[in-house]
Chain A
Amino acid sequence: MSPHAFRVIQPGLHTTVQDLGRVGSQRLGIPVSGALDSLALRAANVVVGNAQNTAGLEIAVLGPVLEVETSSVRVAVAGDGARLTVQHTDGSSREVAALESIRLIQGDRLRVTASTGGSVAYLAIEGGLALPPFLGSLATYVRGGFGGLEGRALAAGDALTLVRGEVDSRQELRLPGFDLAPVSEIRVILGPQDDYFSATAIRDFLSMPYTVTQDADRMGLRLEGAKLEHAKGYNIVSDGIAPGSIQVPGSGQPIVLLSDRQTTGGYPKIATVASADLAALGRVRPGMVLRFRSVTVADAQAARRSLEARMANLAGALVAVRPEGPDLERLYDANLVSGVAHAHDQDTWRHHP
């Protein structure tokens, strides 16, 4: 038994270590990577008392099962509809909602039920993971075989070494009202190569629905919708790619580039997603419909600043988790106040006075 570790019992479909990305090496062809839904990872970190850029686990579709092989550890999960199921050694188990911390002890098993609304969920661990950074980051880039745990997704039997082998018993916390639902309206700044498209293409891009296809991964989302006509061909001399660049190859179907995007590319880019909307885009699932709305650079900057002002104060929004009995705030969250019972939350229902 290795000390200070989580043992991976089941790895889940594609679980990787991610932080907020490997910035500073793009000129060497090294992609930034990092969490697809950076807001979810940051919020989960706040709940366990970490700095927001601490690396955690990014969980896609099917979550992992982990066993605690250290004396104690504190975790929280984030993601639209994500939750934890904890199985204790005495056979009892309990469910923990998203954005709520819990302290686990040796022998406990933790199953992450991945997000039911979005495509990704995150597990934050108090203190973080004891892994060697590569170029200043723990973000896993599987294509290049570096970052995270040996540059790959988790596998059964892996030991995930933790920075902290034990954590204090203290009041557990939760973050109410932090919405991680996917959004369908995405703000974009036109360009840098919007002049490569016909006026009709620009109009269609900003007014028609685009569906996320099955071809969606950490590198980007292939969309399907009205074909975007190029006005000057579809080859440019390769240039730099921003997070959220929307490139349009010869097919006329846009591709939104996400965390594992290449650093340079040779297709014209019709628009770039406003940075304030990147995390929301990182959590969309195949089949969802997106609409793009054009904003100015000044608007995009203002949106990002207001988002970051809120993120900077996230710790102030934490509330205590009540250990026993009904929790009025949670009942309100569960919509009982409007007379609609939350059918999935059996405990809340039972404890309702």
Chain B
Amino acid sequence: MVDRAVSDQVIALADAIEAKAIPGIVELVPTFRSLMIHYDPLRVDAADLKAAVEPLLGGKGAVSHRARLFTLPVAYGSDFGPDLAEVAERTGHSQDDVVRLHTAVTYHVYTLGFLPGYPYMGDGPEELSLPRRESPRLRVPMGSVCIAFRQAGVYSLESPGGWHLLGRTPVRLFDTRRENAVLLAPGDKIRFEPVSHDSYASLAEAAAAGHLDIRPTGVPS
């Protein structure tokens, strides 16, 4: 159902539409396997818009040229990742193995939603695939790094949530003080890198002061 090639096609279509600057389009929202086109019915007729977009469909799904790779530091386990032990137990791995598996993958940002700046990412290792928690938590701290099935996410704000919490990143995916309040965009690539709880603390302090500057570390091939 969720497929990276389809996601690449969706994002490529969004890029193609944007490049054409079709009048009347208000904004584009790429999601897992569809592209939402918000348009102004005063400026363009739905039928005309359809006719303008249709020739752009069926693009080869080239990876968006704007794709960036970010590496997010994560403090795993203990209070930072209260579900790490349970995930390890239920999947039959050691906690270290869970961390190893979780950090071995380059994740793809399919879409942003649920919270401002919240990335729906895939595709995590099959070995860690678990359904959502039976009872969602009422408060998941900002920065929590989580998984459900083969999806991965990072809470961009404190919120209720039902995914398994493995750790926490000091990087703020949503920060209204920044020029780009939202760090990630659909199509970006993410890697997680384990850091000690001590370095988490100093990075978190910098983030709280607005000094933690996270830049893309390179464009993945």
Contact = CB atoms under 8 A, between A and B. Distances in A.
A287 interface: no
Interface residues of A, number: 34
B31 A28 contact: no
Interface in A208-240: 237-240
B182 A30 contact: yes
A135 B29 contact: no
Nearest to A31: B116
Contact of A26 (B27, B46, B176, B185): B27
B182 A26 contact: no
A238 B120 contact: yes
A308 interface: yes
Contact of A275 (B41, B157, B181): B41
A264 to B, nearest CB: 3
Interface stretch (B106-114, B133-141, B203-211): B106-114
Contact of A264 (B1, B47, B111): B111
Interface string B99-130: 00000000000011111111010000000000
B111 A238 contact: yes
B29 A301 contact: no
A134 interface: yes
A239 B116 contact: no
Given A240-B29, A264-B111, A301-B46, A28 B34 contact: no
B112 A28 contact: yes
Contact of B182 (A25, A31, A241, A275): A25
Nearest to B31: A239
A134 B181 contact: yes
A308 to B, nearest CB: 6
Interface string B29-49: 111111110100110011100
A19 to B, nearest CB: 15
A351 interface: no
A29 B182 contact: yes
A28 B30 contact: no
B113 A23 contact: no
Contacts of B118: 29
Given A134-B181, A144-B116, A144-B157, A26 B41 contact: no
B36 A237 contact: no
B114 A264 contact: yes
Given A263-B113, A275-B41, A239 B176 contact: no
Given A27-B112, A28-B112, A305-B42, A237 B29 contact: no
A29 B116 contact: yes
Given A144-B157, A239-B32, A297 B46 contact: yes
Contacts of B2: 237
Nearest to A305: B42
Contacts of B34: 239-240
B28 interface: yes
B46 A29 contact: no
Contacts of B170: none
A172 B46 CA distance: 41
Interface string A113-145: 000000000000000000000110000010011
A242 B115 contact: no
Contacts of B27: 23-27
B26 interface: yes
A238 B32 CA distance: 7
B143 interface: no
A321 B174 CA distance: 48
B73 interface: no
A113 to B, nearest CB: 34
Interface string A27-54: 1111100000000000000000000000
20 contacts: A23-B38, A24-B27, A26-B29, A27-B28, A27-B29, A27-B30, A27-B112, A134-B176, A141-B116, A237-B1, A237-B32, A237-B33, A238-B31, A238-B111, A239-B31, A239-B32, A240-B34, A264-B31, A264-B114, A298-B47
Given A24-B26, A27-B185, A135-B181, 10 more contacts: A24-B27, A27-B27, A27-B29, A27-B30, A146-B116, A237-B33, A238-B120, A240-B35, A242-B38, A305-B42
Interface of B: 1-2, 14, 26-36, 38, 41-42, 45-47, 111-118, 120, 156-157, 174, 176, 181-182, 185-186
In the A-B complex, the 4 residue pairs with the smallest Cβ-Cβ separation, listed nearest first, are A240-B36, A264-B113, A29-B112, A28-B182
